[in-house]
Amino acid sequence: MTIQAATSVCIIGSGPAGLLMSQLLANAGIENIVIDRKGRAYIEARVRAGILEQGTVSAMREAGVADRLDVEGIPHHGLDLAFEGASHHIDIVGLTGKTVVAYGQTEVTKDLFVKRTQQGGRFYFDVENVVLSGLKSDRPAVNFRHAGQDVEISCDYIAGCDGFHGVSRNAIPANVLKTYDRVYPFGWLGILTERPPVSMECVYTNHPRGFSLCSMRSATRSRYYIQCDSNDDVANWSDDRFWDEFAARISPDLAAKLQTGPSFEKSIAPLRSFVAEPMRYGNLFLAGDAAHIVPPTGAKGLNLAVADIRILVRGLVERYARGNTHHIDTYSQKVLARVWKVERFSWQLSNLMHQFPDHSPFEKKMQRAEFDYLMQSEAASRTIAENYVGLPLD
């Protein structure tokens, strides 16, 4: 026997995109159900993003989940880019009038889960065999297995917020879906440690031994990354080896301040640029990592997912409140125009800040010339600042 459920919007995936969407829809009185193939504890513990754009902070406030973020989030007024001994400060507040805020993705998802569950949000966790059907009909459906039973949710719309490895994107017929992909020849090895950060703002360094990034989660907790081989294994990286390599890739001033300690999270993330088009098929909408991936340089992934959701929710609110489908009809086109600009920024900053094993001597000179230009040109710094704080939604 199949258990039948019905709702307005079925959201696949309870990462930041799916959770925020659920909350914003609920605030507008639009019923929704969220399903995820993992459980809440697993999702809350997934250490990933750490830097929120002002637009993301505004979305959290609009959702009514920013009380802790407003107290614990640490505003950053600038960032540093360093290249083979030279260092360049970008005053993002001076150049744009805006800040970004350090606040972990783990905390964003926790805050959203607390609010959704307090309000009686409907969730199915640990689901299996998720299948989407009837996407071109008025009443699409999502079928899955949950706690030993078959479940079918019928709805008006499906939101595919199930990340890069989800099923939603592949529910779009292959002759409709077009994908664009670039895999970088390295990954990021990241650690978290309960030690004060070497800098209260992010420091991105292109060192001859490879990229490094100094980031933080609080005044007592640091998040550090180094470029590593894409096929490397965390098992090869003892804490001691990490600290030696990290210290070698930051400036001597920062290395002198570095407080090392045991790591309590250590993982390797591959670097990829990816876009799937279109982001709407029938009554399925894709949002976040389900539709696009950026390399992490510049901290755009979570922020891009949130921007998609803000645009999609506005469209759905228009549709439910006034029967106006204009905004959902133009969703894919509108959101993709923004996505490509953010892809461009993340790609460009990744190209500037990493050591590429296949770079020719000419390409190395180009990289250095780009950095020298950046150090001399306020216009170039402003371009980075404007992208770093987040492009406008419209």
Degrees to nearest 5, angle at CA 102 with 114 and 387? 115
Between 161 and 284, CB nearer to ligand FAD = 161
Q: Please say which residue, 7 or 273, places its beta carbon nearer to ligand DHB.
A: 273
185: nearest Cα among 270, 267, 299: 270
Q: How far is CA 195 from the centre of its chain?
A: 25
Which helix H or strand E contains 150, and what residues bound it? Answer: strand 149-154
Does 76 participate in binding ligand DHB (rule CB under 6 A)?
Answer: no
Residues 6+ positions from 215 with CB-CB distance below 8 Å:
50, 51, 102, 197, 202, 222, 223, 224, 225
CA 48 – CA 44 distance, rounded (Å): 10
User: Considering beta carbons, is residue 80 or 91 the nearer one to ligand DHB?
Assistant: 80
223 binds, among ligand DHB, ligand FAD, none (CB under 5 to 8 A by kind): ligand DHB
Q: How many CB atoms lie within 10 A of CB 123?
A: 19
Per-residue x/- mask for ligand DHB, residues 194 to 223, rule CB under 6 A?
Answer: --------x----------x-x-------x
Should residue 306 be labelled a site residue for ligand DHB when binding is judged by CB under 6 A? no
Among ligand DHB, ligand FAD, none, the one that 16 touches (CB under a kind-dependent 5 to 8 A) is ligand FAD
To the query of whether residue 292 is one of the catalytic residues in this protein, the response is no
The only residue of 25, 26, 299, 312 in contact with ligand DHB, by rule CB under 6 A: 299
Helix (H), strand (E) at residue 173? none
Q: Which does 381 bind (CB under 5 to 8 A by kind): ligand DHB, ligand FAD, none?
A: none
353/371 Cα distance (integer angstroms): 9
Q: Is 178 annotated in the active site?
A: no
User: Which residues touch 322 (CB under 8 Å, ≥6 apart)?
Assistant: none
Task: Please state the separation of Cα 388 from the chain's center in Å.
Answer: 13
Active site residue 320: no
> Has 180 been annotated as catalytic?
no
Number of residues in contact with ligand FAD, rule: CB under 6 A? 37
> Which segment (33-41, 49-57, 114-122, 226-234) binds ligand DHB by CB under 6 A?
49-57
| Catalytic sites, residue numbers | 76, 204, 296, 300, 388
> Where does this chain bind ligand DHB (CB under 6 A)?
49-51, 202, 213, 215, 223, 296-299
